[in-house]
Structure formats: C-alpha cells, structure tokens
C-alpha cells in the first residue's frame, strides 16, 4: 500500500518543515507549500489530506478551501491561530474536517494526523454491503458490475452510520444528532431526500423503513 500523501500549506517555514519531518518519520509522503500559489501547483488527486493554515502571504486559506470544495472532497485540517467562533463556524461551513488551534506541538499534531488518517483510510473504510463495496473515505461505491459511482458526503455518512449500527434500527433523531449535530425539522426532511436518493442510485431495498421508528440497513 502506498503511503498516504499529505500536503501542508503553511507559510512559516520552520513550522512547516518541522511538522513535515515528524510526519515523514511516521511513513507519510509529505509535500510542503508556503503559499496558496504553491499549493495550487502541488495539489493533485494523489493528495489524501491537507493541513491548511488560514493566514497566508498571498491570500486567505478559507478562500482556497472554498475553491477546493468545488473540485475535491479531500479531507482538510485547518490549523490556525484564529480561534474566534466566527472563523470556526465559517471553517466548518466550508466543509473543513477538523479545526486545530495554534500553537500545537508537532508531536501532538502528528498524533492527530495518525488518528485522522486511520479514521478516513483505515481498513474499515472499505466494506461490502449487499453486493456493493463502499469506500467511506472516497465517498464512492463499486457496483456489482465493477463500475463505480460517487456519493455525496451526507449519503456516505448515512450509510456508514447505519452500517455501524450492525443491523439495528436507527431512529431519525439519532441520525440527525450524529450527522448534523442538531435537531432541526429541516434536517428531518433532508434525511428523507438523502435516503430516497440512495435507494434510487443503488437498491430500493438497501435501506428499510421501520415505521414510526427510523431506518435499518438491509445488509
């Protein structure tokens, strides 16, 4: 298996280089960008994780994240000294996967990355379900005929959550709380839409409705 490739976008050369060395010792393939222009040149589909600073010499890292999300779902850890709630909310609104306050030691950051990579790219991220093979880290499904289709992140999250329930029925409230972190009526309706789309893309009987309770994966 090829090493996971990580792109560090951090203009502080010392911090960038020190973290890069720590990660390389863990077996990662690391490339470093010290500006957004360098990041744009270095990013390609082989990059599996981005560590992104916000304040950069040629622009704002969150603007880069906004553009990135138009072309890629690659996981992004935002690493910044800006710890106000507005920045945090904006960061997650742009679909960052994690937010880490500076300063943080390279050792602690390396441990965070290890846990993050295991969560996204560990062996349990690729599972067979009812003739389909789901790759939870890439948001893709390999169909029985060998072709591959893309799922949205929320569709993938729903399948994974139901899969981890091990055949038990999951309530709608549990899905909302775990995947949205809220209890809004609008998200309750959104679940119906996501599940309808999954049934249409894959198999009408993949997700069973348990009337008055919630949903169960028909694995």
Instruction: Label residue 54 exposed, middle or buried (CB < 10 Å: 0-12, 13-18, 19+).
Output: buried
Judgement on whether residues 70 and 80 belong to the same structural domain of the protein: yes
Cα 48 to Cα 56: distance, rounded to the nearest angstrom: 21
When divided into structural domains, the chain yields a total of 2
Cα 163 to Cα 139: distance, rounded to the nearest angstrom: 15
Say which range, 6-10, 142-146, 177-181, 189-193, has the weakest mean pLDDT.
177-181
% of the chain at pLDDT higher than 90: 54
Q: Would you call 22 helix, strand, or coil by DSSP?
A: helix
Judgement on whether residues 108 and 195 belong to the same structural domain of the protein: no
- Express each pLDDT in 106-156 by its tens digit: 999 999 999 888 877 776 677 889 999 998 877 889 999 888 899 988 899
pLDDT at 39 over 70: yes
- Express each pLDDT in 42-63 by its tens digit: 998 889 899 999 999 999 999 9
The crossing angle, in degrees rounded to 10, of helices 106-121 and 13-25 is 50
- pLDDT at residue number 124: 64
DSSP 203-215: -TTSEEEETTTEE
112 forms beta bridges with none
Return all residues near 1 (Cβ < 8 A) that are at least 6 apart. none
Query: Where residue 88 sits, what CATH number does that domain have?
Result: 3.40.50.2300
- pLDDT at residue number 186: 55
Residue that has been written with the tokens 């809220």 in this structure: 182
H helices, E strands: number in the chain: 8, 14
Judgement on whether residues 10 and 100 belong to the same structural domain of the protein: yes
Residue that has been written with the tokens 């348990």 in this structure: 210
- Express each pLDDT in 162-174 by its tens digit: 988 888 999 988 8
Structure tokens at 198: 């999954």
216: nearest Cα among 151, 172, 154: 172
- Residues spanned by the domain of 21: 5-121
Judgement on whether residues 21 and 88 belong to the same structural domain of the protein: yes
Cα 197 to Cα 8: distance, rounded to the nearest angstrom: 35
- pLDDT at residue number 191: 86
| For range 18-38, the mean pLDDT | 96
- pLDDT at residue number 184: 52
């Amino acid at each position: 298996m090829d090493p996971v490739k990580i792109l560090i976008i951090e203009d502080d050369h010392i911090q960038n280089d020190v973290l890069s060395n720590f990660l390389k010792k863990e077996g990662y393939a690391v490339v470093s960008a010290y500006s957004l222009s360098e990041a744009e040149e270095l990013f390609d589909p082989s990059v599996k994780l981005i560590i992104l600073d916000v304040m950069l010499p040629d622009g704002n890292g969150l603007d880069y994240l906004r553009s990135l999300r138009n072309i890629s779902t690659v996981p992004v850890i935002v690493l910044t000294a800006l710890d106000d709630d507005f920045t945090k909310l904006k960061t997650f609104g742009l679909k960052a996967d994690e937010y880490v306050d500076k300063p943080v030691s390279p050792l602690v950051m390396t441990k965070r990355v290890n846990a993050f990579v295991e969560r996204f790219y560990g062996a349990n991220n690729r599972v067979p379900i009812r003739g389909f093979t789901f790759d939870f880290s890439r948001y893709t499904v390999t169909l029985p005929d060998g072709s591959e289709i893309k799922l949205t992140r929320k569709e993938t999250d729903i399948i994974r959550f139901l899969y981890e329930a091990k055949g038990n029925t999951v309530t709608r409230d549990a899905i909302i709380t775990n995947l949205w972190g809220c209890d809004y009526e609008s998200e309750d309706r959104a679940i119906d839409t996501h599940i309808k789309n999954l049934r249409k893309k894959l198999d009408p009987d993949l997700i069973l409705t348990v009337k008055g309770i919630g949903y169960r994966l028909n694995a």
